[in-house]
């Protein structure tokens, strides 16, 4: 996932300065999409507890909190590579992604912290990947170098009610891990390599596993009590998946298909599934964008209702999703920093039902 985002930065870095300045204030927020907080640096994780929201900002290593309409404040900081966050009762859980810099300590790790106390390392997820390799793919080449990302945790979700487990979507490891209250890690779900459509026969780092790596990105609980998992599926057009899993055994109960590079998932009280497509509408290739291209048009959220009817809402670069009190919230301008924009352009928006139109 990170590789594609970095290469995609080329076209937006070439956008005009006027577009960079104007887009967040105007085109990103049509009437049915309301900004409830702004000023974030690359918001990648979104959580809510007792009326407050929490945002993981990967660029600055901060977790910010806010009440809708109020100015965000720094809740936790100095967390290099923080990717996902969730709060339950008085405890925060957060994961850090894989780092290209060997000097960065604490990468690919699940942490927790209680208000007023130091953060605590719960699980070294890269160590688990190296020891167990849940997806069964070749990890290292003949020269001893990793063939791909080994462990790149992207999202974290706590168990419901008195379930003290913590779930982690590890995009690098191609699996969903579950961590018990004792810190023991186990594999909850390892989705298969995607071999349909544009993924059929696609070369992979491991020649024994051709196709698109699944790359889990988002986690959400549904009103049915099941766990929903979005998967990037090698960013191949139309090959993204959402898996519906039994919350205890990880058995696949259903699969939604036809998404392009989904980065987040949420489920409404009525069972509607929301999927963020971070880069939908981005120009193909790594060259400059067409003349007059508006970067605020990149990205959308797809809604799939209980009858399977699909509608879409245009939200600029949406990534993390959350349904709170029946309302859908999303991060926006979530990767503006990777695309060469200025700092603190990230937002959290409320997406009303009227924002969705038929495909």
In this predicted structure, what is the pLDDT of residue 33? 96
Helices of type H across the chain: 2-13, 17-22, 125-132
pLDDT (tens digit, 9 = 90+) per residue, 283-310? Answer: 877 767 788 888 889 999 999 999 999 9
> What does the alpha-carbon distance between residue 346 and residue 302 come to, in Å, rounded to a whole number?
20
- Among the listed ranges 2-6, 167-171, 300-304, which one has the minimum average pLDDT value? 2-6
pLDDT (tens digit, 9 = 90+) per residue, 327-338? Answer: 999 999 999 877
- Does residue 5 have a pLDDT over 50? no
pLDDT (tens digit, 9 = 90+) per residue, 183-217? Answer: 999 999 999 999 999 999 999 988 889 999 999 99
Which residue would you say has higher pLDDT here, 344 or 286?
A: 344
In this predicted structure, what is the pLDDT of residue 20? 40
In this predicted structure, what is the pLDDT of residue 6? 39
- Does residue 16 have a pLDDT over 50? no
Q: Quote the strand ranges of 180-283, DSSP E.
A: 185-189, 216-221, 227-231, 240-245, 252-259, 262-267, 273-277
pLDDT (tens digit, 9 = 90+) per residue, 170-179? Answer: 999 999 999 9
In this predicted structure, what is the pLDDT of residue 31? 65
- Domains in the chain (CATH in brackets) are 2-358 (2.120.10.30)
In this predicted structure, what is the pLDDT of residue 74? 94
> What does the alpha-carbon distance between residue 9 and residue 295 come to, in Å, rounded to a whole number?
11
> Starting at the edge strand that comes first in sequence, how are the strands of the sheet with 91-96 ordered?
82-88, 91-96, 109-114, 120-124
- Among the listed ranges 101-110, 253-262, 275-284, 311-320, which one has the minimum average pLDDT value? 101-110
Say how many C-beta atoms besides its own lie within 10 A of residue 350's C-beta: 17
Q: Among candidates 142, 170, 145, 146, which has minimal Cα distance to 156? A: 170
Q: Among candidates 260, 290, 289, which has minimal Cα distance to 275? A: 260
């Amino acid at each position: 996932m990170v590789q594609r985002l970095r290469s995609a930065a080329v076209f937006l870095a070439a956008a005009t300065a006027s577009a960079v300045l104007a887009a967040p204030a105007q085109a990103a927020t049509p009437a049915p999409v309301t900004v409830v907080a702004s000023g974030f640096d690359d918001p990648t994780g979104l959580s809510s507890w007792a009326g407050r929201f929490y945002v993981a900002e990967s660029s600055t290593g901060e977790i910010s909190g806010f009440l809708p309409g109020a100015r965000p404040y720094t809740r936790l900081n100095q967390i290099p590579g923080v990717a996902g966050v969730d709060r339950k009762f008085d405890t925060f859980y957060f994961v850090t992604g894989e780092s290209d810099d060997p000097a960065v300590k604490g990468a690919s790790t699940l942490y927790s912290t209680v208000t007023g106390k130091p953060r605590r390392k719960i699980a070294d997820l890269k160590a688990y990947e190296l020891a167990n390799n849940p997806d069964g793919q070749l990890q290292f080449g003949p020269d001893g170098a990793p063939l791909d990302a080994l462990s790149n945790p992207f999202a974290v979700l706590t168990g419901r009610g008195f379930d003290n487990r913590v779930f982690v979507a590890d995009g690098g490891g191609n699996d969903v891990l579950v961590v018990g209250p004792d810190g023991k890690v186990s594999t909850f779900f390892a989705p298969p390599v995607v071999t349909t459509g544009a993924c059929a026969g696609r070369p992979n780092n491991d020649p024994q596993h051709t196709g698109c790596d699944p790359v889990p990105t988002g986690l959400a609980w549904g009103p049915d009590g099941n766990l929903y998992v979005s998967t990037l599926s090698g960013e191949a057009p139309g090959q993204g998946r959402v898996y519906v899993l039994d919350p205890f055994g990880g058995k696949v109960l259903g699969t939604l298909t036809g998404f392009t590079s989904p980065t987040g998932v949420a489920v409404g009280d009525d069972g509607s599934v929301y999927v963020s497509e971070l880069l939908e509408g981005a120009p193909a290739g790594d060259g400059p964008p067409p003349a007059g291209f508006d970067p605020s048009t990149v990205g959308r959220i797809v809604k799939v209702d209980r009858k399977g009817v699909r509608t879409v809402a245009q939200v600029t670069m949406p990534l993390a999703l959350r349904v709170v009190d029946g309302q859908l919230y999303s991060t926006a301008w979530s990767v503006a920093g990777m695309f060469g924009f200025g700092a603190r352009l990230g937002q959290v928006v409320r997406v009303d039902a009227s924002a969705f139109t038929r495909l």
